[in-house]
């Protein structure tokens, strides 16, 4: 999967997080959704610019916040559709984001001497 495709999927994940907060409707949910959504979109921008290490750190923090919060929320309140979709998209994001990228033509190659 190309870095550009990963960036697009990560940006879509960020948009979903913001939308999930808005769908909940409370001030705290909108704030949490906006914060984590912006974090994911910034990670997508960093990935698109080739700053993979910074993008990886940011998306790991985002995934920890989102998955940790929604797992504890579903344990306390039960699993609703919004929470289930958010957990599923988080797992998909983790799988997609950490898939190895193909080698590029300008990447240094190791040659046996």
Span 23-63, pLDDT tens digits:
999 999 999 999 999 999 999 999 999 999 999 999 999 99
Read off the pLDDT of each residue in 4-24 and give the average, rounded to a whole number.
Answer: 96
In a domain, 113, yes or no: no
d(CA 38, CA 21): 12
In a domain, 108, yes or no: no
**Residue 92: domain span:** 3-96
In a domain, 84, yes or no: yes
Q: Taking the model in full, what pTM does it have?
A: 0.86
Other beta carbons less than 10 A from residue 63's beta carbon: 21
In a domain, 107, yes or no: no
- Whether the pLDDT of residue 106 is over 70: the answer is no
In a domain, 87, yes or no: yes
> What are the percentages of helix, strand and coil residues in the chain, rounded to 5?
75, 0, 25
Report DSSP letters for 26-64, one per residue: SHHHHHHHHHHHHHHHHHHHHHHTT-HHHHHHHHHHHHH
- Domain count of the chain? 1
The more confidently predicted of residues 54 and 102 is 54
């Amino acid at each position: 999967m190309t870095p550009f495709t990963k960036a697009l999927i990560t940006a879509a994940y960020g948009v979903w997080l913001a939308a999930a907060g808005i769908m909940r409707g409370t001030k705290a949910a909108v704030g949490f959704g906006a914060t984590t959504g912006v974090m994911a979109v910034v990670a997508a921008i960093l990935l698109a610019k080739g700053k993979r290490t910074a993008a990886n750190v940011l998306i790991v923090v985002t995934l920890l916040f989102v998955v940790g919060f929604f797992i504890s929320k579903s344990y306390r309140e039960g699993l609703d559709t919004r929470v289930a979709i958010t957990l599923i998209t988080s797992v998909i994001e983790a799988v997609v984001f950490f898939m190895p990228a193909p080698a590029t033509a300008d990447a240094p190659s190791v040659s046996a001497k």
